[in-house]
Every structure is written in C-alpha cells, then in structure tokens.
Amino acid sequence: MSNPECFASIGPIAIHLPQRVETNDDLRQQHPEWNIDQIEEKTGIKQRHIAAENETASDLAVQAVEKLFAQANIDRKEIDFLLFCTQTPDYPLPTTSCLMQDRLGLSTRCGALDFNLGCSGYVYGLSLAEGLIRSGVAKKILLVTAETYSKYIDADDRSLRTIFGDAAAATLVTASPERTLWGFQFGTDGSGADTLLVGDGGARCATDAIRPRHRKRWKSRLYMDGASLINFTVEAIPRLIDEILEAQSMTHDQIDRFVMHQATRKMLEQMSERMGLAPGRIPIDMEDVGNTVSCTLPILIDRMRRRGELSSASVNMLVGFGVGLSWAGCLWRDVAV
C-alpha cells in the first residue's frame, strides 16, 4: 500500500575503515621512482585505508552497521530492508546482502538487495529507499556501501594505488512527514564502459570481454582511463546540475553546497572552476581516506555533520558520477542535524 505522506530522510551514518593505513610516505619508500609530491598535489590524497588480505567488503559493511546500531540505539529487528551497494561482492552469488542479513541478525522478513554501482551508487540507493518508503513497503532501511577496490590493484600500479581506498558506510534511511530528498535525476552512457572496468571474473568469455580504452600500463585487474573520466565529468555533471535546478525552478545561488563524489582534488577543482563557484561550495575532504568509490558521499556527509557545516534550513545537492558511465543527483535538506 502506498504511503504518499511519507518521504525518505537521511538519518544517522556510521563509517568503518580498515585498520591498515597506507601513507604516501610508505609509497615513496617502496617506489622512489614515483613523483609522490606531484601525485599528492593532483589527487589531494595523503593516505588510504586498505583491507586485509582475507577482509571483504561485507566484513567492512557488517562492522559499519554494528557501529550504527550501537551509536544510534537502533533495534535491528525493526529494519525492513537492506540495500547494499558494492562492486567488490563476496561471491558472484548469492547476493552479499543475504549473507549480511544473517550475520547482522536482521529479521527474515527483511528485504535484501545488492546493486552494483560505484561512484553514483549512494544517490541511486537513496532513490531506491525513497521508492520503498513512498510505496509503503518499508519504513526503516539500511543503505550500506562498501568497497575493497584494493583487491583489484597491483602493487606497482602508480595510477590506481595512489587514489583508491577501502571503506564502508551504513546509513539509516527513515520515513519522514516532510520531503528532504527530491529532484532526482540520473544518467547513463554505457559507451564509456571501457574507461573504468574489471574485465575478468564474470560470465563473459575473456575473448569477448570489454577491452580497456587504451593499452594497459600495469598488471592491475582494474583499469582506469583517468583523462577520459575527467573529460566526461566536467561536461556531464554541470549539465546534470543545471537540469536539476531548472526542473525545480531554482538557481545555483539557492544551493548551499554541492556535495559531490570525492574522486580527486583536481577533478573537483576543475568542476568548481567550470561552474564558477566560490571556494568551499564544493567540499573536498579525502586526503586521509582517498577515493572510496560509493562510500565517499556518506563519509563526507558524516564529517560535515560532525563539523556543524549542515543546517536543516539549507538546501544542498548530492551528486555521484563515474564507472558505468553512470551519474545521479538530487536536492537534499538535512533535517537530522
């Protein structure tokens, strides 16, 4: 039964980072031939958390959820649905969310769903949660993101190892009488699938797999064409933002902050310059965690809350973009602060 008077609201968030920390000084010692200072200036990243060899995305996710339950005093039996976003699942099947339901002791009446989206995944997850709540199917939803991209990266890969970190974030999405998330818009361009991919491990025969856009320079299973991703982002995302604002009869000046996926400092600074925004309108906060893929937005929101940078009276825009190619955005007021 639909419940048109209830909307989704971003509730408390808990973050879990692997214990192992890999700093740029560590990389400098291992690879003195790498220009770490130049890389750090471009990426804005000084260290990353790296999952242990036998530690999976679900391990990180379960610990994030347990932190959320403890910190926010949540009764796990009241969770109606588990949405799990990851591109590093434990197995091809069963879905990792089913394994997590059992490990977390959630009710067997709880729905559980994996969805494989990277840097746009958190916004997509919020839209799925909004639909579940609006339809009356669920009132309390766990939106969990967890990534262990490090498992796809070779130790000698300068382009990837200096950027990506592992993490998990658990968000409680609850029913609210007022609309706090609205104006969702999405985009997909599968012709860009060859810019960021892992070409093995699926059912597709290796000879028929998507090929990297350019010659692979390192042995990593993960391939990234960074230049093409930057070009895509600085073109598609300002257009997405304009479309969201136009649909809501709003202007850039009415948005307090553009809370974006934390890809690299260079990319976000180029975005800010392209949009003509004053410093700080696009928050940048990744130097101690790196690019954590689907976890960057909840990590950033949690940190902004802790610093008192969010207000229930302010309107922000959430934007995710990347692998797919996939992008998504929405407007958001944080009534939980």
Q: Give the residue numbers marked as catalytic.
A: 119, 261, 291
Structure tokens at 6: 């209830």
Q: Strand order of the sheet with strand 316-322?
A: 181-188, 326-332, 316-322, 258-260
Structure tokens at 279: 């410093």
Give the integer Cα–Cα distance in Å for 329 and 334.
15
DSSP one-letter code for 210: P
156 φ/ψ angles, rounded to the nearest 5 degrees: -95, 5
Give the integer Cα–Cα distance in Å for 178 and 313.
13
Give the integer Cα–Cα distance in Å for 9 and 133.
10
Who contacts 267 (Cβ-Cβ below 8 Å, separation ≥6)? 229, 230, 233, 234
Place of tokens 């909004």: 130
Residue type, position 20, single letter:
R
Distances (CA, A) of 128 to 51, 132, 194: 28, 6, 27
